[in-house]
Amino acid sequence: LAWFQFDYLARQSYLRPVYSQACQLFGCKLPSPYNIDQIRSQNLVVRNHPLENKALIIDAIVINQASIEQPFPDIEFTFSDLNNNIIAKRVFAPGEYLSGDANDMQVMPTNTPVHIALEILDPGKEAVNYTMRFVRNEAYLDAE
């Protein structure tokens, strides 16, 4: 069971030290603690910017539901028309969306809401749908 569930169990904070020692003995490599499937968003709101024409403000709460702290992901926003044709898409790095108290955070704490806010150009009247998706932060993965 410990071997067949290696990826999952080695990411658990209470088991990670045991797996670390086992990997030193057996020459295996621990999986990244990055578990993007455990990051959730709440209260996503896209609204007109109150001061700037042709601009939007995006607000959301992100929560790391993993059992360990993990790096902030990149966030992809996609705007589409009524037929789901993509009008605009952009990926934001943590340095672009973290602000206020969260600006100095290096990792996402567990089960702690983190507010994100972005100001973007309005993609136009055709963009009637939007989605937010978490993407692995390639800069973090390259540093591992």
pLDDT value of position 39: 95
Provide the pLDDT for residue 138: 63
In the chain (144 residues long), the average pLDDT of successive 10-residue segments reads 81 83 90 84 94 94 88 94 96 88 82 92 94 80 44
Query: What is the model's pLDDT at position 139?
Result: 58
Long-range own/partner contacts, residues 9-16 (CB < 8 A, 24 or more apart): 11/35, 11/66, 11/67, 11/68, 12/67, 12/68, 13/67, 13/68, 14/67, 16/68
Residue 125, pLDDT score: 93
**Token pair for 23:** 């990997």
86, 94 contact by CB (below 8 A): no
Residue 53, pLDDT score: 92
Cα 50 to the chain's mean position, in Å?
A: 27
